[in-house]
Amino acid sequence: MRAVLNLFLSGVCVLLLASCGRTQLQEQQAYVFGTRVEVLVVSEDPEQGRKAIAAVLREFDRLHRAYHAWQDSELMALNTAFALGKTRQVSPELAAFVQEAQALSQQGDTLFDPGIGQLIKLWGFQADEFKAELPAAADIKAWLASKPSIADIVIDGTNIRSRNRNVALDFGGYLKGVALDHASAILHAQGIHNALINIGGNVMALGSKEGKKWRVGIQHPRQPGPMATVTLDDGEAIGTSGDYQRFFEVDGRRYAHLLDPRTGYPVEHTQAVTVLIPKGPKAGTLSDAASKPIFIAGPDGWRDMARKMGTSLVLRVDHNNQIFVTEALRQRLEFIGAPPKLNVVQ
């Protein structure tokens, strides 16, 4: 078993961060949401920068604790109510999250479905350390037969219930993006307008660094170091879903945490998908949620799925190391070394 949690290998890495001249660059890292996070701010007042970063990290910790899928949390209490066939009153924030996640799931034809927590648990990915052990085929078949989905959840104000007792929410493919948007709001409220936030490969850029755009690298899923870099405009967010972040191997075969709810098994046709989301009130959320259905849709459906998720800036690496990229994103990429062979699509 090998799980990659290194920030540089999380799909998107931060480059060119050295402070120079009179610019004050404050940086702090932490471990939240099961991955490393990094917050960098540019401020002429170092104390202002440190306080802003601390506020962001407190919010990350709050979100992580409140919506943890397998440790004591409000989300876990809601899942328990689902399993018992009961209605539960939740916080307005959680009710809003469930409603938003439902809409995103519907937008992505339920390929992104935060209601498949039981399946994630069957595969052993609801753990900080997971075992190289396959679930029983009968258990997968039984889960598929019950057809649990976030679409089964009924929301009435802050009262929530599920029509299907096998629904279990897991916000692992959603909450990091939400956290980016919260971080952006906190930093602006603290008077910080130039910053970079990286949550395990989901990155948001605010403003610039000394008037120069923030530059990040896109990691190749099977090779060391970034294969390309891209500069981010103010408010843009970029995210990557990859089969090299959380996985285990059995008999030389890789089983990653990105599960296809239609089959109950990990996706094998794709190694990584990177999306770039333009500035908007939910850019961070979309950078996290949009990459999942595009990843799962596969060779015949990823382009249509990108359109459904509202993004034209996509890079996909398939199981044969072939790189597919939309023309809109290709124009913004700078490849390191000899450019690889690209399959450019509109």
Which residue, of 117, 145, 162, is where some domain finishes?
Answer: 162
Residues 57 and 142 in one domain: no
In this structure, the answer to whether residues 146 and 54 fall within a common structural domain is no
Question: Are 133 and 241 within one domain?
Answer: no
From 22, 23, 27, 48, select the one nearest 39 (Cα to Cα): 27
Helix, strand and coil percent figures for the chain, each rounded to 5: 30, 30, 40
**What confidence tier does 339 reach under pLDDT thresholds 50, 70, 90?**
confident
Say whether both 238 and 142 belong to one domain.
no
For residues 210 and 341, membership in a common domain is answered with: yes
Distance CA(71)–CA(73), nearest Å, equals: 6
pLDDT band at residue 11 using 50, 70 and 90 as cut-offs:
low
Which CATH number belongs to the domain containing residue 290 in this structure?
3.10.520.10
Burial 283-319 (b: 16+ CB within 10 A, else e): bbbbbbbbbbbbbbbbeeebbebbebbebebbbbbbe
Q: What is the DSSP letter of 220?
A: P
* One domain for residues 145 and 246: no
Q: Specify whether 215 is located in the same domain as 332.
A: yes
Clarify whether residues 60 and 136 are in a common domain: no
- Domain final residue, candidates 106, 139, 162: 162
Q: What's the predicted TM-score (pTM) here?
A: 0.93
Residue 36 token pair: 């490393």
CATH code: domain of residue 135: 1.10.3980.10
Task: Report pLDDT digits (tens) over 88-112.
Answer: 999 999 999 999 999 999 999 999 9
Question: Is 312 found in the same domain as 202?
Answer: yes
Output the average pLDDT for the chain. Answer: 93
Q: Residue 180 falls within a domain, yes or no? A: no
In a domain, 112, yes or no: yes
Residues 99, 223, single domain; the answer is: no
In a shared domain, residues 200 and 321: yes
> Residue 139 domain-assigned?
yes
Does residue 175 lie within any of the structural domains? no
Lowest-pLDDT choice from 37-41, 43-47, 281-285: 43-47
Same domain, 59 and 92: no
Q: What domain range is 145 assigned to?
A: 74-162
Whether residue 58 has pLDDT greater than 90: yes
Q: Say how many domains are in the chain.
A: 2
